[in-house]
Structure 1
Amino acid sequence: MNLWEIFVAIVLGIVEGLTEFIPVSSTGHMIIVDDLMFKSKELFSKEVANTFKVVIQLGSILAVVIIFRERFKELLGLKKGSAGGTASSGPRLQLKHVIVGLFPAAFFGFLLEDTIDTHLFSVYTVLIGLVIGAVFMLIADFLPNKVTTTHSVDQITWKQAIGVGLFQCIALWPGFSRSGSTISGGVILGMSHRAASDFTFIMAVPIMLGASGLSLLKNWQFITIDALPFFIAGFISAFIFAMISIRFFLALINKIKLVPFAIYRIVLAAVIYIVFL
């Protein structure tokens, strides 16, 4: 393992951490940074490179778990004021809302996993996802007669939880962005941008952890002693920069909304089109 490979791992971890949970498509960025600049599948075998992408995604997931740790304790009944503790005043987000939101994407993701991996992971399909996703985000921000009724994630209704879960299915198309589809969907359904973002991040942990965990189990044999520094460097950098990215995003999303991200996605799509197509 040489210094160049460690540098590649750190940069890819940074890209993953910065883009995984904001609505700009981490897949689109990986195409630009990895496939164009670093070509990790040429540094390592295809299996090792794919396993690495699972490992750095786990680093990003860990960041969400830490940022929302008190909320997860509450949802799991491990904290006072939660379902398993002393009742708190006012409505609170409940685990059943999260489960309802998870079900549609988990079901269709399991059903269509092989089809998506075989037919939808290409530069062209990601390009389509980036552009259509950007249009969807603009529609969410400029929808006429839209009324915001849910200003906190604790006010989410069953209808909104199910609706956001259905919108998450759109993100099975690579390049669409899970957070882009769910935050936009939440806003369309009457949630504030911050409430939709909070629900998106909380809901992302179990579904991403399940998918990444299964992928890691299938590819465990590729995490060798020689490649371990590569995996560790990527995991740590993804974790650190996901923490930074998520905190800034949550602090600003109610102010800047989705328009800047939609514009950025269109610019990114143009760059991918010029470079690859």
Structure 2
Amino acid sequence: MFLFIAIILGAVEGLTEFAPVSSTGHLILVGNLLHFTGNTASAFEVIIQLGSIMAVVVLYWKRLWSLFGFYRNVPKSGPSHLNLLHIIVAGIPAGILGILLKDFITSKLFSPVSVLVALVIGGIVMIFAEWVAGRRPGKGTTQVSYLQAFVIGLFQVLSLWSGFSRSGSTMSGGLIAGVERKTAAEFSFILAVPMMFGASGVEVVKDLSIIRANLPFFIIGFIVAFIVALFAIVFFMRLLRRYTLVPFAVYRFILAAVFALAMFLLPGLFS
């Protein structure tokens, strides 16, 4: 049963971490459906998120090195002329509020009902962002300015609400700020690395005893999330060449409706 849970949740994390559909929201809903909750579940979510973020490190290692000036030969597509200051500027709002509101976030914004509400509101924000981008001449810039990075960082604050989606909020912020869609997506991926490593590192230290006691279980989830995320990122970037964020918003609405109906008709599934 634990092997089954590790594979299922690892795959869910890998598939959803970088798509604008909220990986944490999916993990909370699926975890409750599998009756896998509590401290072990929370620690497991941290580990599989690290697995997903390692997929970004592998796929975007050239861009990550270039932030420190160690590697200049980066691909011409995606965000250009990025440096470490872009990431710091974008990370400040969510970093500060995440620390100040940590207790409120964990106590109020991690329930299944809260996730369903965030899925819907996040979908509306994504549709609005696409509407704004559609009214702008051209496709947007591929060079992210410091002001645009800060705007993206402000939108990232929304992702502190589980179910809102970090990639969905940052990509929406990028579109509204005038950044081209693919560029906004890749900037979102790169921004995720220090943000998630920082947040996850604190949680790993706190939950170290739980992780040691369930090490094989956690390793399986980490590996599954890493492998699935590798393919999911590549597939998602190909989708963005043909589609907007609107189909993902519609998926969020459908998911919220399905789970809301299940919670109403079969409340025992989420007890």
TM-score (norm 1): 0.89
Residue pair 1:150, 1:156 contacting (<8 A) in 2 also: no
Partner of 1:121: 110
Alignment-mate amino acid for residue 129 of structure 1: A
Residue pair 2:62, 2:73 contacting (<8 A) in 1 also: no
User: Residues 131 and 80 from structure 1, CA distance in 2 versus in 1: closer, same or farther, beyond 3 angstroms?
Assistant: closer
Residue pair 1:17, 1:240 contacting (<8 A) in 2 also: yes
Aligned pair count?
258
User: Residues 80 and 176 from structure 1, CA distance in 2 versus in 1: closer, same or farther, beyond 3 angstroms?
Assistant: closer
Q: Does 1:247 align with 2:250?
A: no
Partner of 2:185: 197
Q: CA deviation at 1:26?
A: 1.3
- Give distance in 2, aligned partners of 1:197 and 1:25: 14
Task: Show CA shifts across 1:185-209 (max 9, x none).
Answer: 1111111110100110000110111
Residue pair 1:31, 1:123 contacting (<8 A) in 2 also: yes
Matches within 5 A, 1:68-87: 68-80=60-72
Alignment counterpart, residue 40 of structure 1, candidates 20, 36, 39: 36
Q: CA deviation at 1:81?
A: 5.4
Q: Does 1:212 align with 2:208?
A: no
Moved over 6 A (4+): none
The SS at the match of 1:255 is coil
Matches within 5 A, 1:120-199: 120-143=109-132, 145-148=135-138, 150-152=140-142, 155-199=143-187
Q: CA deviation at 1:94?
A: 1.3
Percent identical: 48
Structure 1 gaps of 5+ residues are: 83-90
Alignment-mate amino acid for residue 274 of structure 1: L
Residue pair 1:146, 1:188 contacting (<8 A) in 2 also: no
Q: Does 1:107 align with 2:96?
A: yes
Q: CA deviation at 1:142?
A: 1.8
TM-score (norm 2): 0.91
Residue pair 2:125, 2:172 contacting (<8 A) in 1 also: yes
Residue pair 1:150, 1:195 contacting (<8 A) in 2 also: no
User: Residues 196 and 148 from structure 1, CA distance in 2 versus in 1: closer, same or farther, beyond 3 angstroms?
Assistant: farther
Structure 2 gaps of 5+ residues are: 75-79, 265-271
Alignment-mate amino acid for residue 70 of structure 1: K
Alignment counterpart, residue 9 of structure 1, candidates 3, 6, 9: 6
- Give distance in 1, aligned partners of 2:42 and 2:148: 35
The SS at the match of 1:156 is coil
Task: Show CA shifts across 1:70-124 (max 9, x none).
Answer: 1111112222459xxxxxxxx6111111110111111111111111001221122
